[in-house]
A and B are shown apart, each in its own frame.
Chain A
């Protein structure tokens, strides 16, 4: 295996390949930063340009876009509170709070470092233990996905100061997710006869509207001069204390991300949510989360990057794409005349090992690209908001259009901008709405698939060992807050 990896490096280090890996991660960085245009869309756009290349070069470049996108997505999340991708919602929570305190540079730096460490770790895992990990990933199916999603949805209740308000936002998100077509029977529902709603409401216009446009709307109300966020150079860099806080968050986030990434049904957004929640659960200062906890940013970013790499494990060893971007990578293999599937690693060893080696290099490129740029991008916030706001609006609306190439999405985005602004006014947290929207389809389909698999018996959630463990976690997260409240009441009485 060491020999194979060294040969992979020999391929990746060829000057032409190095150039294309760099090009790939650069494009990934850019499309990741543009809300609406994710890595999968960026890969599809560049796919035809790779036809003239050697297959291995093309795959290296396209994979670069895939994980480069995870680095790029951080930028808009932190700076303007618009997650470029579903997996950036958790980063925006604390990253943007940090930016408001003038620590955007530190948030971007820790995100880059966290992504790098987790990325390298995940690639090492891909290299060493792909086949056993892939078969572990297959142990997760509908029942486990349902419980994971349920865990996430319940936890959204805790994202904010008042659980009731968070739950309200979460339930609104769940309701919006039901609009469209029943995923199992194909029956249209909740579309009130509007054909435009047949396709359901996608995450992208909602996230862009509720976060980006709402912020701009809210700023319009403050007619007096808005002070630009104070961003001093000495606050840009990470302190020793930051690093001490984040070391283990990165490690935990990376491991959680890897495991969620190898499950063909879950994705980077589930990974970043779970690792963020884990950090907060085990943090000595859970109250900092949501108000600019640097370990929250580190964990979420580490998790989404390692999940993006982990998604390659089922793709390489089973031919099952674990995410939208790995599906495009799979298509690229086919278009280059390579048959993906369980025999890929045996038949195309040179390509697979070249790809793995290229991911080590690509992550190094991304770290070099991102670290020096972090203070530079953070300095953008020194621009008075009056000038920044139109730019945010343009980026948001162009992003919404680019996602589907239809004006309908742009209108939807504006409508959700107004909803987001109302939520800000009534002090209802916005993240639970967006997270519920992301998790609901997974939760709904997998619950119904589970019951079809079990021919109607709910025992399927107890009989499968992994599901049983998750069920305990779900019950615990439901009961624990109630117990806490009751105890507090007892104390008050006494």
Chain B
């Protein structure tokens, strides 16, 4: 605390008690949010929303640029950030490929090298089937897959991605074998599903509800720990209720380059917390039926480590881990 100038100390003094326990220091100059997804992907949309709120609500004065370094399962993005140890002007967007790509390629874990800052948004998933399907619940699907292993097909995103992991978890929990068909993007997978070519497809809650409302899909289960409360979604039972013990949530966060000054990391964690406390952020979460559990710094580290374990277990089981 002695190092802080008076102005910063005053700001800190006004800030929450927890924050004052830690040194905080603002980075200087323009900031890059590195995103491993292309423009338009979910991580891209999330980080652009964050940047917009930070700048427009005056939470962060530094100009923020969202930079898409897409391709190669986010490794273009994370390799860029890993090569900038101590850099105070670059943050890496953490999405599942940042965890799974190193596992699949047999390269060193990324999450163990970067400086964890925050995990701040989660999306629950639902399992959909075609609207004309005879199945009325998850157990009907399990029965069909048990009777003829491998005949029930899932259209999902990239190999080793979220949909693939969720498929693996369901296979393990129900003791069945499904045929997973990877696609270059979630949109392409949805086209395969809507064209009636496969039986199963995963969707986020808001995407899934759009399909259900339009009569182009039928829900089998949500992969959450408890039912949602929103009208419409509340009627969809969880997988656990139906005897398939799977809880799986997609999540996103941010980390800094390796050896980032803890004071800067703490400053960022505080800024992300402030974003999640704005009404605009909360409205966005509600509209998209997303969850906003917030994990900062050490909590984030523990949280990310646990998620990485899940990925490693499932990918090993599917046979993708190196």
Q: Are A138 and B48 in contact (CB under 8 A)?
A: no
Question: 0/1 per residue, B59-89, Cβ < 8 Å to A?
Answer: 0000000111101110110010000000000
Given A199-B76, A343-B213, A453-B197, is A320 in contact with B190 using a C-beta cutoff of 8 Å? yes
Residues on the A chain within 8 Å of B195, using CB:
138-141
17 contacts between A and B (CB under 8 A): A44-B40, A48-B48, A48-B66, A138-B191, A184-B159, A184-B182, A186-B104, A186-B160, A188-B105, A199-B72, A199-B75, A327-B40, A328-B39, A328-B40, A339-B206, A339-B287, A405-B69
A398 at interface by CB-CB < 8 Å: no
Binds A, one of B150-158, B230-238, B257-265: B150-158
A386 at interface by CB-CB < 8 Å: no
Within 8 A of B (CB), among A448-478: 449, 452-453, 455
B250 at interface by CB-CB < 8 Å: no
Instruction: Count residues on chain B whose CB falls below 8 Å from chain A CBs.
Output: 56
CB distance from A135 to the nearest CB of B (A): 9
Q: Are A452 and B40 in contact (CB under 8 A)?
A: no
B277 at interface by CB-CB < 8 Å: no
Given A185-B159, A319-B210, A342-B211, is A48 in contact with B52 using a C-beta cutoff of 8 Å? yes
Q: Are A335 and B320 in contact (CB under 8 A)?
A: no
Q: Which of B69, B105, B192 sits near A142, CB closer than 8 Å?
A: B192
A152 at interface by CB-CB < 8 Å: no
A212 at interface by CB-CB < 8 Å: no
A82 to B100, CA, bound (A): 37
Given A40-B39, A141-B197, is A321 in contact with B73 using a C-beta cutoff of 8 Å? no
CB-based A-B contact count at 8 angstroms:
143
12 additional A-B residue pairs with CB within 8 Å, beyond A265-B188, A405-B67: A43-B39, A48-B51, A185-B159, A186-B159, A199-B72, A202-B71, A320-B188, A320-B194, A321-B185, A327-B38, A327-B40, A341-B210
Q: Are A327 and B104 in contact (CB under 8 A)?
A: no
A140 to B104, CA, bound (A): 31
Residues on the B chain within 8 Å of A180, using CB:
72
Question: 0/1 per residue, A176-192, Cβ < 8 Å to B?
Answer: 00001111111010000
A202 to B160, CA, bound (A): 22
A445 to B48, CA, bound (A): 31
Q: Are B207 and A334 in contact (CB under 8 A)?
A: no
Interface size class of A (residues with CB under 8 A): 35 or more
Q: Are B40 and A339 in contact (CB under 8 A)?
A: no
Residues on the B chain within 8 Å of A327, using CB:
38-41, 185, 187
Within 8 A of B (CB), among A415-469: 441, 445, 449, 452-453, 455
Q: Are B71 and A199 in contact (CB under 8 A)?
A: yes
A182 to B159, CA, bound (A): 9
CB distance from B3 to the nearest CB of A (A): 35
Q: Is the interface of B mostly helix, strand, loop or mixed?
A: mixed
Q: Are B73 and A186 in contact (CB under 8 A)?
A: yes
Closest to A442 in B: B184
Residues on the A chain within 8 Å of B172, using CB:
none
CB distance from B191 to the nearest CB of A (A): 4
Residues on the B chain within 8 Å of A182, using CB:
159
A404 at interface by CB-CB < 8 Å: yes
Closest to B105 in A: A188
B179 at interface by CB-CB < 8 Å: yes
Q: Are A264 and B188 in contact (CB under 8 A)?
A: yes
Residues on the B chain within 8 Å of A186, using CB:
73, 104-105, 158-160, 320
Question: 0/1 per residue, A189-212, Cβ < 8 Å to B?
Answer: 000000100111010000000000
Residues on the B chain within 8 Å of A125, using CB:
none
B44 at interface by CB-CB < 8 Å: yes
B214 at interface by CB-CB < 8 Å: yes
Closest to B180 in A: A452
Q: Are B45 and A320 in contact (CB under 8 A)?
A: no
CB distance from B189 to the nearest CB of A (A): 10
Closest to B179 in A: A452
Closest to A134 in B: B194
A202 to B182, CA, bound (A): 21
Within 8 A of A (CB), among B109-167: 150-151, 153, 158-160
B291 at interface by CB-CB < 8 Å: no
A330 at interface by CB-CB < 8 Å: yes
Q: Are A449 and B68 in contact (CB under 8 A)?
A: no
Question: 0/1 per residue, B23-60, Cβ < 8 Å to A?
Answer: 00000000000000011110011001101100010000
Given A43-B39, A455-B150, is A343 in contact with B179 using a C-beta cutoff of 8 Å? no
Residues on the B chain within 8 Å of A331, using CB:
39-41, 44-45, 48
Residues on the B chain within 8 Å of A140, using CB:
195
B181 at interface by CB-CB < 8 Å: yes
Q: Which of A335, A342, A404, A452 sits near B52, CB closer than 8 Å?
A: A335
B240 at interface by CB-CB < 8 Å: no
Residues on the B chain within 8 Å of A455, using CB:
150-151, 153, 179
CB distance from A200 to the nearest CB of B (A): 7
